[in-house]
Structure 1
Amino acid sequence: MALKDKLDIRDFLARGLLREKETLFLVLLAVVVGVVSGYASLLLRFAIEWVSLFWTGERTWTEAAHSLPWYIYLVAPTVGGLLVGWITVRYLPGGELRGVSGVLADMVEHKARVHRHQMATETFGSAIAIGSGASLGREGPTVALGALISSEIGQRAGLSEQQLRILIGCGVAAAIAASFNTPIAGVLFALEVILADYAIATFSPIVIASVLATAIARSEVGNFPAFTVPEYHLISVWEIPAYMIMGVLCGIVASGFIKSMAPTRAWLARVVPNRRLRPAAVGFSIGLIGLAIPQVMSIGYGFVEDMMLERIHPELLGVALPLTLFLAIVLIGKMVAVVLSSAGGFPGGLFGPALFLGATVGALFGDIAHSLSPSYSESYGAYALVACGALTAAALQAPLTVMLIVFEMTADYHIMLPLMIACSVATMVTRSFGRASVFTEALEERGIETHWGREQSWMRSVPVTQIPWRAIPRVSEYAKLEELKQVYTGSGKGCVQVVDDEGDMIGIVTFSDLQQWLIDPALDQVVVASEVANRNVLTISESGSLLDAVHILDREEFEQMPVVADDNPRKVLGILSRNAIFSTYHKLIVKHGEGDRE
């Protein structure tokens, strides 16, 4: 065997051993993240209950809704808003994004380094906000908390950006799994919503973290799903068209939900410009709504369960109402309360509110459908269960995750057919109005692109020094045109660097720059290189990345780009060609494609 072959085999084995060590290390960190995120999820859940207990005497607002004095509805969210306003401005003075949106923004813009000040808003801020009656959910803050914990652990462990992204996926999966007691859906949420990455190397640590967090949650609160759900039956095949129509309605409501956020934020910023006072003003408004419609306060999972189990008492302000009218009023009131809470600066999630709105749409639709055709349709509880998933899938733009959550909660295969139909239709309807979800609409408003975040991280991890570059010939700025032409043609590099007395670049000469000077040979001893040089040259620093190079090439049409020293932007170290940059990019994509198949 040739020496070169032996060296190649040794190199291959060394790389494989290094990769195995890195994978093992990542799995060990995933274990830590799963345990810590599982307990953090429980801590946030209990903290919300403690705040609710302080205001209402019960662990949830739903349990206390009909026994609270009227002033609690106004005082609790207003005082909670004042505290939240102070926390938010204190720790996120620049108005940085929070929750899942903040995590996605940090994944794209800050190399998966989650803003550590979110710790205050996602723990204390969310617990105060939701426990005081803000109409939001706990899953969003829990996800952000899991991502923050993972990011901090990964940074301290010295992980690369790609490894850090995987570890954040572990924290996110653990958070969802612990919240809903759904380990499989936790994994899929991390892959579908946060990472958009289904590679085996990514999948395995996330599964481990999700399972551990679920085990921890079950050990503390029992092996119970987030909701007690009814046994599902598909009465007739003729119900399928009804579920499709309901899916369309869920998609329309989800679109309205998403698109109302930005205008409401802008309106509240004009009406209450002070960020410290805005949550308090919104909290008072939510309290007014809650006086008339108590079901809109806080998370409202108790009412969601009541709709599924068909034990609703359709009564508002002591007046009994027809079920259809009651549900329509609750739907509108909850939508307004949720949008105000989120746009008004309260920290909290939109996962839970989407479940509430979906269940309400389903119960409303099911009540009408059952009254029109009782022999061919289930009662409204079954429709509430399916629509709970359909609207959430549309709002999150994550149909696979939501289908699995509902399936894991029900453990009933019979629900899958109508659930798949309703989720798919609702998601398509919402997507026809735009690609934004409740998580990404705030990012789109700020011009943050998330659709190719994984590819960006790959490209950012490749330094310019790993892209093959060539030496670039040089001439003095005082060199005659004749000498310039000789150096240009003799080098065959397609460009020449023109330098000053210190050897620093003053410009670049390419064929297009030379073209106009080639006609008249009399100019060879008259014109000097500094007159020919193009001084408007885009360069890239030696500490730049492949992503930086591609961004520069996207802005300008040229074939060569000088690489300059960090300490002197006029000192040229070499030159990159367009072909070298995109050849490196293609090899990177192939490499990760092969990694995905391993």
Structure 2
Amino acid sequence: MSFTWHRTAGFWLALLLTGVGTGFATAALTEILKLTQHALWGGPGLDLLQGAARAPHWMHMAALTGAGVVTGLGQLLLTRLSSGNSIDISAAIWFHAGRLPKLRTLASATLSVIIVGMGTALGREGAPKQAGAVLGNQAADWLRLTDQERRLLVACGAGAGMAAAYSVPLGGALFALEVLRGVLALRYVLPAVVTSLAATVISRALMGTPPTYVIPAYPDSTSILAWALLAGPLVGLASVLFVRLVARADRHKPRGWLRVVVPVGTLAILGAVSIPFPQLLGNGRDVAELALTGDLAAPLLLALLGLRPAATLLCLGSGAPGGLFTPTLATGALLGGVLGLPWMLVWPGVPPGMFALLGATALVAATTQGPISATVLMMEMTGYARAAVLPMLVMVAAATLMARSVEFRSIYDARLTDAEVAARQRARAHPEEGVAGAS
């Protein structure tokens, strides 16, 4: 079946509606996150670490136990309010022609930003992505678009959510195509850019344009290039482990009445551990920025490298909804910082934050299997134009090649079976047709 969106005015209208709606939805979800976080932890804006570091011990326990209660009750309500099953965005695009249970997905997005504001160690970008996907699906219904158009529109909507959340229009568009749609074709680029641009313009007008990470302009050097060549494969292997642990945590989520009980006990454990390590709370933006600026001492860097991903996996395995992008980025920054410690003894002169920057980019690229989108996202979020691009690309290529050689699944494929992932891989050769047998 030919793909004829270039002759359909309704498709372009759907793109604009999805982008604008996603911008407003992202601003609303971010405001809910801020209000929740400020009510419990205080602190300016989205900076949870400052408030958590000052909070009394009982607040850590109360906030995270409360997050467990909210998670359990929220999951129970989701099943009662919606008869449709929860569908992952990637699964919806590839196996359901982009169709999602709208009410359940939006409710899950709202639940996720509330519990992230309360301190769960998951990402806030998952909610805007879900909102954008639902709006794309709804626009396709309104304008009676084809299944091929709907698939692309839902992917563009989810990418627009990423773009609006972090003010990264180009990175969000590439994420939609490379990671979610699974193809970087010229005929898809303009629709993705239009949707992400519209969402970003609205979100910037409502939330401002502060950079996600404020880091120094690190210089390029032969030393960091040599380190990137050696460390890239190690990060790729680490990404394989992380993806498999994410898949395992997702498969072992509690079922039945355990969905109400397990999150309470699990998140209470996180609350107790966060008393000496407040860096474990929230989506990881704060700890990532500390690593990217070289402001984490070596002992803390080593401790957080084990504890931070464990906290994310703990929350994911408890059934708590949330994103994985920023937690993965934070883990990559910590891993890069740790791998840089011995290198500074052998070949001194590289700023510690440079190792974290490359590690973060490489781990995101390898775990999402989106090297181009990951590189552009990091450049946009940190304000980089040319600095560090060469070692960044070297490390991203090495890490992604190693990861793909061992594991063809990404963190966004965690909910898919091996047969579904294989079917998706085959379908990438014919992206306009989707997966055979998909509704």
User: By the TM > 0.5 criterion, same fold?
Assistant: yes
| Partner in structure 1 of residue 97 of structure 2 | 111
| Partner in structure 2 of residue 258 of structure 1 | 243
Counterparts of 2:242 and 2:86, CA distance in 1: 19
Q: Sort the Cα spacing of 1:183 and 1:458 in 2 relative to 1 into closer, same or farther, 3 A.
A: closer
Counterparts of 1:387 and 1:269, CA distance in 2: 32
- Whichever residue aligns with residue 240 of structure 1, its letter is L
Counterparts of 1:384 and 1:50, CA distance in 2: 30
| Partner in structure 2 of residue 340 of structure 1 | 314
| Contact kept in structure 2, 1:35 and 1:216, CA below 8 Å | yes
| Partner in structure 2 of residue 390 of structure 1 | 362
| Partner in structure 2 of residue 352 of structure 1 | 326
The answer to whether structure 1 residue 326 and structure 2 residue 300 are counterparts is yes
2:160 to 157, 174, 178: 174
Counterparts of 2:217 and 2:323, CA distance in 1: 28
| Partner in structure 2 of residue 475 of structure 1 | none
| Contact kept in structure 2, 1:231 and 1:412, CA below 8 Å | no
- Whichever residue aligns with residue 53 of structure 2, its letter is H
The answer to whether structure 1 residue 222 and structure 2 residue 177 are counterparts is no
- 1:159 Cα offset (Å): 0.9
| Partner in structure 1 of residue 37 of structure 2 | 52
How do 1:44-443 and structure 2 match up within 5 A? 44-58=29-43, 59=45, 60-92=47-79, 96-97=85-86, 102-235=88-221, 237-265=222-250, 269=254, 274-312=258-296, 323-374=297-348, 377-408=349-380, 409-443=382-416
Counterparts of 2:432 and 2:406, CA distance in 1: 31
Q: Sort the Cα spacing of 1:120 and 1:187 in 2 relative to 1 into closer, same or farther, 3 A.
A: closer
Gaps of 5+ in 2: none
| Partner in structure 2 of residue 560 of structure 1 | none
- Whichever residue aligns with residue 117 of structure 2, its letter is G
Counterparts of 1:116 and 1:33, CA distance in 2: 14
- Whichever residue aligns with residue 253 of structure 1, its letter is A
Deviations 1:26-66 (A, max 9, x none): 11221111111011112212211111111112243212122
Counterparts of 2:96 and 2:429, CA distance in 1: 14
Counterparts of 1:198 and 1:438, CA distance in 2: 19
- Whichever residue aligns with residue 258 of structure 1, its letter is V
2:24 to 26, 36, 39: 39
Counterparts of 2:26 and 2:133, CA distance in 1: 11
| Contact kept in structure 2, 1:125 and 1:347, CA below 8 Å | yes
| Contact kept in structure 1, 2:309 and 2:331, CA below 8 Å | yes
Name the SS for the 1:198 alignment partner.
coil
Bigger fraction of residues in strand: 1
| Contact kept in structure 1, 2:106 and 2:134, CA below 8 Å | no
Counterparts of 2:424 and 2:138, CA distance in 1: 22
Counterparts of 1:273 and 1:245, CA distance in 2: 48
Deviations 1:493-549 (A, max 9, x none): xxxxxxxxxxxxxxxxxxxxxxxxxxxxxxxxxxxxxxxxxxxxxxxxxxxxxx46x
Across the two proteins, how many residue pairs are aligned to each other? 431
Q: Which moved more, 1:332-341 or 1:402-411?
A: 402-411
Bigger fraction of residues in helix: 2
| Contact kept in structure 2, 1:35 and 1:213, CA below 8 Å | yes
Name the SS for the 1:288 alignment partner.
helix
Counterparts of 2:275 and 2:290, CA distance in 1: 20
Name the SS for the 2:416 alignment partner.
helix
- 1:131 Cα offset (Å): 0.8
Deviations 1:1-46 (A, max 9, x none): xxxxxxxxxxxxxx99x97651x22112211111110111122122
| Contact kept in structure 1, 2:254 and 2:319, CA below 8 Å | no
- Whichever residue aligns with residue 331 of structure 1, its letter is L
Deviations 1:104-155 (A, max 9, x none): 1112232211121333443321122201111011112221211111101211
| Contact kept in structure 1, 2:27 and 2:203, CA below 8 Å | yes
Counterparts of 1:459 and 1:177, CA distance in 2: 26
Counterparts of 2:391 and 2:323, CA distance in 1: 27
| Contact kept in structure 2, 1:55 and 1:132, CA below 8 Å | yes
| Contact kept in structure 2, 1:92 and 1:117, CA below 8 Å | no
Taking every aligned residue pair, what percent have the same amino acid on both sides? 25
- 1:178 Cα offset (Å): 1.2
Counterparts of 2:418 and 2:323, CA distance in 1: 18
| Contact kept in structure 2, 1:365 and 1:380, CA below 8 Å | no
How do 1:550-589 and structure 2 match up within 5 A? none
- 1:303 Cα offset (Å): 2.1
- 1:183 Cα offset (Å): 1.1
| Contact kept in structure 2, 1:366 and 1:379, CA below 8 Å | no
Counterparts of 2:309 and 2:284, CA distance in 1: 13
| Contact kept in structure 1, 2:251 and 2:415, CA below 8 Å | no
| Contact kept in structure 2, 1:361 and 1:384, CA below 8 Å | yes
Q: Sort the Cα spacing of 1:121 and 1:432 in 2 relative to 1 into closer, same or farther, 3 A.
A: farther
- 1:97 Cα offset (Å): 4.7
Name the SS for the 1:275 alignment partner.
helix
- 1:456 Cα offset (Å): 7.3
Counterparts of 2:434 and 2:166, CA distance in 1: 35
- 1:220 Cα offset (Å): 2.5
Counterparts of 1:96 and 1:229, CA distance in 2: 42
Gaps of 5+ in 1: 1-14, 313-322, 462-546, 551-598
| Contact kept in structure 1, 2:22 and 2:157, CA below 8 Å | yes
| Partner in structure 2 of residue 501 of structure 1 | none
Counterparts of 2:312 and 2:25, CA distance in 1: 25
Counterparts of 2:368 and 2:427, CA distance in 1: 18
| Contact kept in structure 2, 1:436 and 1:444, CA below 8 Å | no
Counterparts of 1:95 and 1:118, CA distance in 2: 8
Deviations 1:450-492 (A, max 9, x none): 324567775579xxxxxxxxxxxxxxxxxxxxxxxxxxxxxxx
